[in-house]
Amino acid sequence: MIRIAIVEDCKEDAEILESFLGRYESEEKTSFALTHYKSGVAFLENYHGDQDIIFMDIDLPGMNGLDVSRQLREKDETVVLVFLTNLAKYAIKGYAVNAFDFIAKPITYYSFSTMLRRAITRASLESKDEVMINSSGSLLRLPLISISYVEVFSHQVIYHTDNGDYSEWRSLSSIEANFLSHGFAKGSSSYLINLRRIKALTGEKVTLSDGKVIYISRRNKKEFAQTFAQFLAGE
Amino acid sequence: MYQWTSLFLYKFQFLAELLIAEGIFCVSFPRRSHFWWRFPLGLLLLAGLVYAIPIADYGLFYQTFLFLGIFALSIGYICFVFEEPFLNLLFLAVAGYAVQHIAFCCYQFFMVATLFGGGTSLAIYGKGITANDVVTFLSFYLFILFYAVTYLGAYFLWGRSLRKEKDFMISNRWLFFIAILFVFLAVFLNSVMITKDTPKDNQTELLVGFAYGILSCLLVLVVLFKIKEAKQAENELAIVEQLWREDKAHYELAKENIDIINIKCHDLKHQLAAIRLGESKDLDALKGVENSIMIYGAMVKTGNDALDVLLSEKTLFCGNNGISLTYIVDGERLAFMSYSSIYSLFGNALDNAIEYVKSLSEDKRFIRLSVKAQDDMVAIHIENYLEHELPLEAGWPKTSKGDKAYHGFGLLSMRKIVEHYDGEIFLKTDHNLFAIDILLPSKVEGSGEKNHELGLPNEQSK
């Protein structure tokens, strides 16, 4: 179940959006939980980090969509945010509130459905999942996005996080799939790197935001760069 | 046939000389998967095959066959280890053989000219070595010296340039074929000399022969790298042509846009006149004026001048062709690129997309562009609706003849620009979307501020 909020004051536009979502549900055999807000203020009052995708009109009464988004980002940095507008130029700077993308009105189904598919993929990437690890006898939960990179070293997996390193006895391949579907990419047979933490990628050299340098393997280089490019672009 | 005579041993020495010479040229080319398995295992197999070639005869034709046979096996080995079109690998192998032959001729020229060690340097082609140990050792060091100098020289003159220009093609296959023949001829002539002549009796003949070997192989190398470079000049010409065509198209577009504005201004004048005279119902006329003014809403501010001009123009054009062009652009982060690069890169991408979606029904005409940044990296993403499957070949569209002229050059030109900035470009087709992803290192220090001011106009309230 994908949770979607619509923040839109115009009744007709909201109805079109809802009908498109309904069509997508039946065509793609998925289901949505929809919440509709008529103003940004009402939305902010009720938002508790419990949505996957938010469709936000820019031209809202009272507080406009960009201002609402700025306050939203204080509560939730990662939720997938899609703007709706009939004045395209106001959305150009959507990157400043980490907007995923925007849709120009009048909305057409093909434009909407192709973007929604990407938004859903992105939402699953940004989900606030945690990993359970067994580090020297104690079980603990780590939010996936708090891990900057994972390294395998003599049959131990080492999780490098903001609060220090944790290790446990297991193979990298046993955790790989989970990490790869949450915004990590495989740098080599012994590294999984959190794409959010990459400061620079030049050739085979990855520099993380904390200054740590990791060299990726020649074989993984191309795929790694492509995954990273698509991640940055919001795919 | 399998006795350990010096020629039998020399097979392996020759193989080593050849592989190292070929390595000078191949080293920076893309390797096949499991390279570190292929490399030693292939080498083992190659040595086995070379071992298996019998020394059936010490005569002229058999020796020529022997060397060309080992050369052919070495080409097979290179193909097994490196991932490149066959012709390109053949090119590198021939260049390698020419270098090996130059080194060989230089060394032998010196040995014969000085009659070092009593002129026994050619004895390796016989059944046994007769020189005493000191001379053998000295000539070994000389041998290493000559080969090292020649190989290093070849690397700096030609091998090094291949590092940057991996994407080459042979422009003139006839010349390539003739160059190969020249190498074969040099090898054959060499066999003629070493099987017939002895250093003491035929010194002049041998010296001329080795000098010929050196010069002909040098000529081969010059020709080889000429026909390789020629291809790149052709590529560049294609880009220049493309840019020229674009400028022309650009002019026509700009003219069309000006015409649109002129027509709108004309309408505006008449609508205002109608309101003044009270001829039309005010509401309708005002609506018309509003529509006419909307066209100026297309002026774009992204934080990058080149992109502003381009996007303003494309927005105008798209608006008049029923195409929805939307973008989220952090234009300031493109400051490291030249205006012409930006104009050309984005212009090509948008033109390709516009050209394509124009052929679609109106509800599928959308193009989305984003420029987003994270620390030192910038990602450009352009996507449009894709009606039919577009098969990609090695990450690049298989172009049908018809659209190669347009699409192909546009993409080629984009790739050149991206490579110029040490970036990567990827194409993706998936679920009715065609997407171009470009990753660029921005190299700009200290421009990492995250929260840019939003350029939101004040007249937002309804």
Q: Which of A115, A200, A234 sits opposite B376 (nearest CB)?
A: A200
Cα separations in angstroms, A100 against B388, B406, B419, B442, B446: 26, 31, 27, 21, 25
Can you name the residues that pair with B433 across neighbouring β-strands? Answer: B385, B430
Residue B115 is classified by DSSP as: T
Contact (CB<8Å) A234/B381: yes
- Reported as a single tens digit per residue, the pLDDT across B56-75 is 887 888 888 899 999 999 99
Option in B301, B364, B374 nearest A232 (CB) = B374
In SS3 terms, B12-80 reads as: HHHHHHHHHHHHHHHCCCCECCCHHHHHHHHHHHHHHHHHHCCCCCCCHHHHHHHHHHHHHHHHHHHHH
Half-sphere exposure in the Cβ direction for A64 (13 Å, CA): 18
Give Dmax over CA atoms of chain A in angstroms.
61
Q: How far is A10 from chain B (nearest CA, A)?
A: 12
Pairing verdict, β A53-57 and A80-85: parallel
- pLDDT of chain B along its 462 residues, tens only? 567 677 888 888 999 999 999 999 998 888 888 889 999 999 999 999 998 888 888 788 888 889 999 999 999 999 999 988 888 899 999 999 999 999 999 998 988 888 876 666 555 565 555 545 666 777 788 889 999 999 999 999 888 878 766 667 777 788 899 999 999 999 999 888 887 777 777 888 889 999 999 999 999 999 988 887 645 555 656 665 666 566 556 656 666 666 676 677 677 777 777 776 766 566 666 666 666 565 555 556 777 877 877 887 788 788 888 888 888 888 888 888 877 778 888 888 898 889 888 888 888 899 999 998 888 899 999 999 988 777 676 666 665 444 444 455 677 778 888 888 889 899 888 888 899 999 999 864 443 333 333 333 333 333
Query: What number is the average pLDDT over the span A159-183?
Result: 86
Q: How far is A59 from chain B (nearest CA, A)?
A: 7
Quote the mean pLDDT of chain A: 86
Determine how β-strand B396-397 pairs with β-strand B324-329: unpaired
Chain B residues inside the 8 Å CB shell of A91: 326, 328
| Token pair of B161 as six digits | 């340039």
What is the arithmetic mean of pLDDT over A19-31?
91
B positions 418-447 inside 8 Å of A (CB): 422, 424, 426, 428, 431-433, 435, 437-439, 441
CA distance B284 to B233: 60
Q: How far apart are CA B331 and CA B342, in angstroms?
A: 10
Tell me, rounded to whole angstroms, the distance of Cα B291 from its chain centroid.
49
- CB atoms B326 and A99 under 8 Å: no
Determine the distance in angstroms separating the CA of A22 from the nearest CA of chain B, rounded to an integer: 18
CA–CA distance from B307 to each of B291, B340, B343 (Å)? 25, 10, 7
- Kindly give the residue spans of alpha helices, DSSP state H, lying in chain A: 11-28, 40-46, 65-75, 109-125, 173-180, 218-233
Range in A74-78, A171-175, B283-287 with the lowest mean pLDDT = B283-287
For the record, the structure tokens of B15 come out as 């193989």
- Whether residue B417 contacts residue B341, with contact meaning beta carbons closer than 8 Å, is answered with yes
Q: Can you give the pLDDT at residue B393?
A: 66
CA–CA distance from A172 to each of A167, A228, B325 (Å)?
12, 20, 43
Structure tokens at A131: 């990993």
Give residue for tokens 């026909």.
Answer: B227
φ, ψ of residue A193 to 5 degrees: the values are: -115, 135
- Tell me how far apart the alpha carbons of residues A81 and A57 are, in angstroms, rounded to a whole number: 11
Running DSSP on this structure, what letter comes out for residue B157?
I
Closest Cβ opposite residue B329 in set A92, A118, A207: A92
Confidence at residue B15, expressed as pLDDT on a 0 to 100 scale: 93
A76, A176, B218, B329 from A57: Cα distances, Å: 18, 38, 70, 19
Query: What's the mean pLDDT in A98-118?
Result: 87
Asked if the Cβ–Cβ distance from A110 to B364 is below 8 Å, we say: yes
Residue A189 burial (10 A CB sphere; 0-12, 13-18, 19+): exposed
Cα–Cα distances (Å) from B57 to B53, B68, B124, B126, in that order, read 11, 15, 14, 11
For chain B positions 334-363, those within 8 Å of chain A (CB to CB) are: 362-363
Q: Which amino acid is at A209?
A: S
Sign of CA dihedral B41, B44, B47, B48: negative
Q: With b meaning 16 or more CB within 10 Å and e meaning fewer, what string describes B32-64?
A: eeeeeebeeebeeebbeebeebebeeeeeeebb
The whole-angstrom separation of Cα A99 and Cα A201 is 23
Beta strand pairing status for A138-143 and A130-135?
antiparallel
The pLDDT assigned to B446 comes to 40
Can you tell me the distance from the alpha carbon of B151 to that of B145, in angstroms, rounded to the nearest whole number? 10
- Average pLDDT in the A62-72 region? 87
Residue window 14-73, chain B: list those with CB within 8 Å of chain A.
31, 33
Residue A88: the pLDDT is 62
Question: Quick one: which of A82, A34, A38 has its CA closest to A56?
Answer: A82
Token output for B227: 């026909």
Going by their DSSP bridges, the two strands B324-329 and B366-374 should be labelled as: parallel
pLDDT of residue B122: 58
DSSP H/E element including A53: strand A53-57
CB atoms within 10 A of CB B160: 12
Which stretch, A86-95, A133-142, B60-69, B169-178, has highest mean pLDDT? B60-69
- Residues of chain A with C-beta less than 8 angstroms from the C-beta of B368: 101, 115
Interchain contact, A96 vs B329, CB within 8 Å:
no
**Is the pLDDT higher at B230 or at A8?**
A8
C-alpha span between B246 and B226 (Å, rounded): 30
Adjacent-strand bridge partners of A208? A198
B362 bridge partner residues:
none
Read off the tokens for B14. Answer: 């020759």
Within 13 A of B299's CA, how many CA atoms are on the CB side? 5
Among A87, A85, A26, A76, which Cα is nearest to A55's?
A85
Backbone angles phi, psi at B427, to 5 degrees: -110, 150
Nearest CA of chain B to the CA of A188: how many Å?
Answer: 14
Closest CA of chain B from A94, distance in Å: 6
The pTM of the full predicted model, rounded to 2 decimals, is 0.59
A101–B385 CB contact, under 8 Å: no
The 10s digit of each residue's pLDDT in A200-224 is 888 888 888 888 888 988 888 888 9
Identify whether the C-beta of residue B418 lies closer than 8 Å to the C-beta of residue B440. yes
The residues that bridge with B382 in the sheet, in sequence order, are B369, B436
Distance CA A217, CA A205 (A): 9
Q: What is the longest distance spanned by two Cα atoms in chain B?
A: 119
The answer for B416, left when phi > 0, alpha when psi is -120 to 50, beta otherwise, is alpha
Q: What is the pLDDT of residues B311-354, one digit of tens each?
A: 877 887 888 888 888 888 888 888 888 777 788 888 888 988 89
Tell me which H or E stretch contains B341.
helix B339-357
- Residue B372: list chain A partners with CB under 8 A: 95, 232-234
Q: What DSSP element (H or E) covers B193?
A: helix B173-196
Q: What is the pLDDT of residues A179-193, one digit of tens each?
A: 888 889 998 888 999
